[in-house]
Amino acid sequence: MAEAVEIWRGGVNTWECDEMGHMNVRFYVARFMEGLGGMALRLGLPDAFSPAASSTLLVRDHHIRFLKEAHAGAPLHMVGGVVAMDATSATILQVLLHTRTNAPCATCITRVQHVDVSGAPLVWPEAVRTAAEALMVEVPAHAAPRSITTDAVQSIASLEAADRLGVGCAGRGLIAPQDCDAFGRMRPELFIGRVSDGVSGLLAPVRKAVIEAAVETPKRVGGAVLEYRLIYLNWPRAGSHIELRSGLKGFDDKTQRMVHWLLDPVTGKPWGVSEAVAVNFDLDTRKIIPIAPAAREALQPFVTAGLGF
């Protein structure tokens, strides 16, 4: 096995940080997408994300673990490698690192498919397969799935299922031209970004219950995501309508599990589905606020039975 190679380097801008004081999740995904371009270059596909490309790498799945906060001004870099490759797809490891300490900031296991510009699968060129052999890596323990499965799933998401289960609307809108990539597809960071924008309404009663039951009442409360999986089923384009349905799947003594469906309100079909493991966060101590027994009792009515990918 080879060592991971550098595929991106940069830092955190102030405007990329949110009300929690750290880089927002959408910019992690944006970094991972830039890093994927760096990996494409290493594989011998330098024009993969160019409008003139004859083929590209289409993301099918992201599994992300958030390990250490990134604040404004923090220098970061990313290394990556190939975990597996079959006839038309590959699994890529991406590790975002704090440059000053080399400590992992976040990891992403990205499943991509080699496709033509219309999205039809293509067999990898032999030169790419040869390059991939020299870039093969193993997934380290800190990047491996912990609480969310990465197994193949058959999605249950639809507008009809959301209405039947009582999964509330957390956002709706329209995809703008500037939201799309060189091939006219919605950029992946828009999915997690829409979740970030809309989830506060879902979390308000959850945080209220946690705070009221806390041993010590925190002055300022926010949230942080520990692990995320995003499955991209179809791709909105400029002018496409989107509707975000989000619900609480469950919780334990520290974390809550949330499921998000990005739906097409015209057809009722899913654009994508995701699950996240998140915590309530004391913004002053930067520590997790436990979910006390009384809070768990108060949260039970908010859980949507049968909710999943």
**Which residues constitute the domain of residue 108?**
1-144
- List of residues 6+ apart from 64 with CB closer than 8 A: 28, 29, 32, 106, 107, 108, 227, 228, 229, 230
Same domain for 249 and 165: yes
Secondary structure of 103-116 in HEC code, one letter for each residue = CEEEEEEEEEEEEE
Same domain for 244 and 180: yes
Is-contact 185 240, C-beta < 8 A? no
Same domain for 257 and 159: yes
* pLDDT at residue 296, rounded to an integer: 87
- Using the 3D structure, point to which of 128, 144, 160 is the last residue of a domain: 144
- Using the 3D structure, point to which of 100, 118, 144 is the last residue of a domain: 144
Same domain for 114 and 161: no
* pLDDT at residue 208, rounded to an integer: 85
- Does the structure show a pLDDT above 80 at 255? yes
The pairing of strands 270-282 and 221-232 is: antiparallel
* pLDDT at residue 101, rounded to an integer: 97
Higher per-residue pLDDT: 172 or 298:
172
pLDDT in tens, 155-212: 999 999 999 999 999 999 999 999 999 999 999 999 999 999 998 887 888 888 888 8
- Does the structure show a pLDDT above 80 at 2? no
Torsion of CA 11, 14, 16, 18, to 10 degrees: 130
- Using the 3D structure, point to which of 127, 144, 161 is the last residue of a domain: 144
* pLDDT at residue 238, rounded to an integer: 98
Give the number of other Cβ atoms within 10 Å of residue 218's Cβ.
18
Same domain for 227 and 306: yes
Same domain for 245 and 111: no
pLDDT in tens, 61-85: 999 999 999 999 999 999 999 999 9
Same domain for 193 and 100: no
What mean pLDDT do residues 249-254 have? 92
Is-contact 32 110, C-beta < 8 A? yes
Q: What is the mean pLDDT of the chain?
A: 94
- Give the least confident one: 119-123, 170-174, 274-278, 295-299: 295-299
Residue in the block written with tokens 């699950």: 275
Q: Residues of the chain with pLDDT > 70: what percent?
A: 100
- Does the structure show a pLDDT above 80 at 215? no
Distance CA 238, CA 241 (A): 9
| CATH code of the domain containing 219 | 3.10.129.10
pLDDT in tens, 82-118: 999 999 999 999 999 999 999 999 999 999 999 999 9
Same domain for 190 and 131: no
Same domain for 89 and 45: yes
* pLDDT at residue 204, rounded to an integer: 83
pTM for this model (two decimals) = 0.95
Q: Residues of the chain with pLDDT > 90: what percent?
A: 79
Number of domains comprising the chain? 2
- Does the structure show a pLDDT above 70 at 19? yes
What mean pLDDT do residues 121-143 have? 97
- Running DSSP on this structure, what letter comes out for residue 44? T
